Amino acid sequence: MFSSFDNKSVFISGGCGSLGSALVAKLLTTKTRRIVIFDNNQSKLAEIERRNPDPRLRFFVGDVRDYPRLCRGLEGCEIAFHCAALKIIPSCEYNPAETIKTNVMGSQNFVEACLDTEPEIAVAVSTDKACSPLNLYGATKLCMERLFIAANRYKGSRKTIFTCVRYGNVLGSAESVIPVWTEQASMGKITVTSPEMTRFTITIDQALDFIFNSMRYARGSEIFVPKLKSYKVRDLATAFLSMNSREISVEEVGTRIGEKDHELLINEHEVRFTYELPFGYMILPPDQAPYEGASKVSTLTEYSSANVDHHTSQELVQILKSA
């Protein structure tokens, strides 16, 4: 799986985030030549540097809003991961201009910087919230997907492959529900929006494996989607509470602005251009022919967290223990 990283230089925007940090840790187990961690969180960069004295690491203080700095960080890199984003939904709704500057304009800067520095592949990390978006975060991630897909059409003779991966909630990632509940539990109460809500879930290790598998199939302009189970919010809360010995109450606060009852990974329109792979699905542009080993999806009408198998509370306990 990791042979493609041998002696390669890798760039990670948002390298201090949950996924970025996990990518760094995983890549350090490979024969990667150099890993450029690009982030605007100076203290987090310093913390990672203290924990990891590996000479292959390079620490770049920078922001995806800064195009020249992106170009400098990408120099000499063969593989580029775009993980940087503002992602906290209520904050994005309250700060729309800042969200657009980072998630949309920053993504365009990333694309343009890759066109100038020509890595072999550029991978954008998206979210289920980009599919038929209801909130600003999802809308900006949809824009990011479109920017990467379009880049393959106007890159000319440049060698870079632009591709996207789209998956569900990573349990335990920064500012996700589990860290929030853990903080709330110390005060004896957790809040839930709607117990009947469903969400896709993926562990960080599953996410990394899915990204690396997708890269092996990428030719450009794809959106890769994993096959995932989902969970009901009430089942996740039950699993979380069962792991705590103290008495914790649950308060239902209702659906917040920008939240769906159920998430989508592939909508009814994208299904027409969706192909099945051994490890997931691949959405292609309408005029792009499928690849060998990919079969057209025929039974799926939409890929929703409401119509896939749900994790039981017991399964969620095991996932939480390993997260």
* Residue 184 domain-assigned (yes or no): no
Q: How far apart are CA 78 and CA 96, in angstroms?
A: 33
Asked if pLDDT for residue 236 goes beyond 60, the answer is yes
Q: Model pTM?
A: 0.94
Q: What is the mean pLDDT of the chain?
A: 93
* Residue 190 domain-assigned (yes or no): no
Q: What is the DSSP string of 124-187?
A: EEEEGGGSS--SHHHHHHHHHHHHHHHHHHH-TT---EEEEEEE-EETT-TTSHHHHHHHHHTT
Average pLDDT in the 270-288 region? Answer: 93
Give all strands (DSSP E) within the chain, no chain letters: 9-13, 34-39, 57-61, 79-82, 121-127, 161-167, 169-170, 189-192, 198-202, 223-226, 230-232, 249-252, 264-266, 274-277, 280-283, 295-296, 303-304
Average pLDDT in the 281-302 region? Answer: 87
Q: Residue 201, SS3?
A: strand
Q: What is the pLDDT of residue 1?
A: 37
Handedness of CA 18, 24, 30, 36 (dihedral sign): positive
Q: Model confidence at 93, in pLDDT bands (50, 70, 90)?
A: very high
Asked if pLDDT for residue 2 goes beyond 60, the answer is no
Q: What is the pLDDT of residue 267?
A: 96
* Residue 181 domain-assigned (yes or no): no
Q: At 58, list the tokens.
A: 């390079």
* Residue 173 domain-assigned (yes or no): no
Handedness of CA 129, 131, 134, 137 (dihedral sign): positive
Quick check: 162 and 151 in contact, CB under 8 A?
Answer: yes
Q: Find the domain containing 214 and state its range.
A: 3-168+203-226
* Residue 157 domain-assigned (yes or no): yes
Instruction: Give the least confident one: 18-22, 98-102, 315-319.
Output: 315-319
CATH assignment of the domain containing 145:
3.40.50.720
**Residue 107's closest CA among 75, 77, 58, 150?**
150
* Residue 274 domain-assigned (yes or no): no
* Residue 254 domain-assigned (yes or no): no
Asked if pLDDT for residue 121 goes beyond 60, the answer is yes
Q: Model confidence at 323, in pLDDT bands (50, 70, 90)?
A: low
* Residue 241 domain-assigned (yes or no): no
Q: Residue 41, SS3?
A: coil
Neighbouring C-beta atoms of residue 257, cutoff 10 Å: 11
Average pLDDT in the 141-158 region? Answer: 96
Structure-model confidence comparison of residues 35 and 293, the more confident one: 35
Asked if pLDDT for residue 253 goes beyond 80, the answer is yes
Average pLDDT in the 207-214 region? Answer: 95
Q: What is the pLDDT of residue 288?
A: 87
Considering its fold, how many domains does the chain have in total? 1
Q: What is the pLDDT of residue 3?
A: 55
Q: How far apart are CA 154 and CA 118, in angstroms?
A: 13
Asked if pLDDT for residue 292 goes beyond 80, the answer is no
Average pLDDT in the 238-250 region? Answer: 88
pLDDT tens digits, 96-112: 999 999 999 999 999 99
Structure-model confidence comparison of residues 291 and 241, the more confident one: 241
Catalytic positions, written as ranges? 129
Q: What is the pLDDT of residue 320?
A: 85
**Residue 128's closest CA among 285, 279, 281?**
281
